[in-house]
Amino acid sequence: MFKPLDLKEGSEKQTLQPTDVERVKCLIIGSGPAGYTAAIYASRANIYPVMYEGLQPGGQLTTTTEVENYPGYPEGVTGPVMMEDFKKQAQRFGADVRWGMATKADFSGEIHKVWIDDSKLIEAETVIIATGATAKYLGLDDEKKYAGGGVSACATCDGFFYRGKDVAVVGGGDTAAEEAMYLAGLCRKVYLIVRRDELRASKVMSERVQRTPNVEILWKHQTKGLTGDNGVVEGAVLVKNKGEAGEEEVKIKIDGFFLAIGHKPNSEIFAEFMDTDEVGYIKTIPGTSKTKVPGVFACGDVQDSHYRQAVTAAGSGCMAAIDAERYLSEKYS
Ligand code: NDP
């Protein structure tokens, strides 16, 4: 049994000047499969979760089309519909799902503080961080210029539009190899633009992509820019052997330009209080969702650089809610 906070069901709102302050038992930040699953479990455990959805309600899956590998959807489902289903299920058990973006955090005290949209302050006994990760871009102006006109960071989302056409994938890791092979099944030709003379991808993936007949690997190539009319990609300008003897400019004709150079976990506002790896992924105690701060838990892609699947994110969201419930239970026993 929980000793009641100063709360009844849900959360009690008090209006304090100059900042709006609200105290909750369980705050969930982020609304992908991890966040919604945490909300389902936390609601059913009666810890009255309040969830802030963030900038992209539903998370990365809302930018995908068909999801065919999530168990329970034998015919497949679109990412946005699946996320809407998750949300409805969380709300059915009373999760308080809200618009808003966490902009600052302070985990230095026993009560954890998180500011929403730089104004409202949430004081939470437990916080579940489910803020996900964002695809990285090269930082070229042309990526913005041709956004929506051939530049994409998700082959499984957008590959369909390039059936029978020529495309390029940038990157040399497992994601790039996987995306190149996926696109090879749809497109006439796939260039894999690799900045070094070897792939970072695992041996099995490297071998597989190198064996795929319509994938051409452009070793030691870097992208300088994109070309095309009316905001639609028609080609890319690459530099081979940049900064070395034999440096040369190479032009390729493509209709689609896919980035697969890694992801950036959305952990900045929490990083000061967390252990993170060199990329920024939050470290959790193995086998749990616990971070080094008691009462703060992390789940989904913000703490997982490896699997990054909807189903693994959902599983870790379940773990986070169970860990939060047990934390509160122990605190008040
Ligand atoms: P990685 O960080 O593993 O690879 C990123 C790739 O992008 C590297 O080849 C890197 O080059 C290249 N790159 C980075 N920045 C630039 C740049 N500015 N210009 C050109 N190239 C650049 O990211 P992934 O997303 O591929 O993988 C992340 C994790 O997820 C890994 O642990 C991976 O194993 C895992 N994963 C596993 C899968 C599976 O098992 N099925 C599928 C997908 C991912 P360089 O090598 O020179 O640094």
Of ligand 1's listed atoms, the one at least distance from the Cα of 172 is 9
pLDDT at res. 12: 47
Same domain? For 143 and 253 the reply is yes
Q: Give the Cα separation of 312 and 282 in Å (integer).
A: 16
Q: Give the Cα separation of 170 and 154 in Å (integer).
A: 11
The residue out of 207, 242, 259 marking a domain boundary is 259
Q: Is 200 in the pocket of ligand 1 (CB under 6 A)?
A: yes
* Residue 54 identity (one-letter amino acid): G
Same domain? For 255 and 270 the reply is no
- Structural domain total, the chain: 2
Residue 2 lies inside a defined structural domain of this protein: no
Q: Is 282 in the pocket of ligand 1 (CB under 6 A)?
A: no
Same domain? For 163 and 255 the reply is yes
Same domain? For 144 and 231 the reply is yes
Residue 89 lies inside a defined structural domain of this protein: yes
The residue out of 223, 241, 259 marking a domain boundary is 259
Q: Is 196 in the pocket of ligand 1 (CB under 6 A)?
A: yes
What is the value of pTM for the model shown? 0.77
Please tell me the distance between residue 171's alpha carbon and the centre of ligand 1 in angstroms.
6
- Active-site hit among 26, 96, 142, 157: 157
- Average pLDDT value for the chain: 92
154 carries an active-site annotation: yes
pLDDT in tens, 224-253: 999 999 999 999 999 999 999 999 999 999
Report residue 279 CA to chain centroid gap.
14
* Residue 313 identity (one-letter amino acid): A
Q: Give the Cα separation of 205 and 169 in Å (integer).
A: 15
pLDDT in tens, 259-308: 999 899 999 999 999 999 999 999 999 999 999 999 999 999 999 988 88
Q: What is the CATH number of the domain that holds 61?
A: 3.50.50.60
Same domain? For 160 and 211 the reply is yes
